[in-house]
A and B are shown apart, each in its own frame.
Chain A
Amino acid sequence: MRKSLGDPVAEELRFVVRSVVGEENFVDMLPNRSNNFCCGGGGGFLQSGLADARRAYGKTKFNQIKATNAAYCITPCHNCHAQIHDLSEHYEGGYQTVHLWTLICLSLGILGENEREYLGSDLAQVGL
């Protein structure tokens, strides 16, 4: 989205994230916006069979996520989600990887019991 529509669109998503998780729980990673690092899941990398290279590529993203000390990383699409989730497991990052829709519904109190696959134990029971 950033590539096709530019940084302003991503600002609107920051507004959504802040509204959903609360200002005090929002951590922007560094660098960010158009200067951010790609996770390494896209361009066909996840399907290429080059798993070692993909994870070596993703180490940059992994280190960047770990530097935030955040417990959750929000990903914009299925591809990023699959890669960043895999990086957490592979490098034992201990962070959760979630889609934004999960947090929007959680904050609205409408997230169903079977829709919590990617929440950690701290949030898994909230609002049930």
Chain B
Amino acid sequence: MAIEIGRVKEKSIFKDRIMSLLPDGGNLNACLTCGACSSGCPATGLENMDPRKFLRMAALGMDEEILNTDWAWMCTGCQRCIHVCPMRIDIPALIFQVRKSWPREKRPKGIRGSCDLALKHDTCSAMGTSEEDWHFVVEDVAAEVRETQEGFEDLVAPMDKRGATFFLNQNSREPVTEPEEMIPLWKILQKVGANWTYGSKGWAAENYCMFLADDEGWERIIRTKVDAVEELGCKVWLNTE
């Protein structure tokens, strides 16, 4: 006869719901409690939490406690815990589902704001940069290099170049807050003779809707970016983020 350890809860607990969403249930029941995850996690100790504890609390049905801590927003999803786990437990997937369980308006304002801004334009820029502003900055910076830097009189940062091999994206903080950081990249691409282009649409590298655990927004941003690459017939999507 099997020995039943602990009390079996009758209600469907958070963890069961999450397991039904993850491939192989994310192995969330397979924890050996070894603590390898926690010993190497930089978020261990924050909010008096660590990955093992978080997972055990989920396993024990401590739904309320799990949702009442900010810790899910302190995991970066780096996956080191999976790397060292003998059972390959997908803790970051658990974290993502916990984030998703927060009411959208309660999720961190900064992440939410960046996601909302990215959904405003087809540029997908979390800074809310429009296509016009993007065109202006790139051309303005390129023109200045052509005028002032010897050897780069013919430097170009191609925009919407159909059939280019590489579609390059860019973290939108670069054109907005430090545009000169884009120049070295252009020079390298020119130097090696790469056939590349930026796009008017979908050029922003970041995706805060993913971090916000807003599936609908996340998908919309990814689809906008993929469409932009395919529209120009590019072969490689170069992600700098």
Contact = CB atoms under 8 A, between A and B. Distances in A.
Interface of A: 3, 34-38, 40-45, 47-50, 53-54, 56-61, 77-79, 82, 99, 101-102, 104-105, 108, 110-112, 114-115, 117
A49 B70 CA distance: 11
A57 B45 CA distance: 9
B184 A45 contact: no
Given A43-B77, A53-B70, A110-B151, A48 B180 contact: no
Interface string B68-101: 0010011111111001100000000000000000
Given A35-B83, A43-B75, A50-B108, A112 B183 contact: yes
Contacts, number: 122
Interface size class of B (residues with CB under 8 A): 35 or more
Given A38-B80, A79-B241, A47 B110 contact: yes
Given A42-B78, A47-B208, A50-B70, A115 B184 contact: yes
Nearest to A109: B151
A53 B46 contact: yes
B43 interface: yes
B43 A57 contact: yes
Given A47-B114, A49-B110, A99 B184 contact: yes
A44 B211 contact: yes
Contacts of A108: 187-188, 191
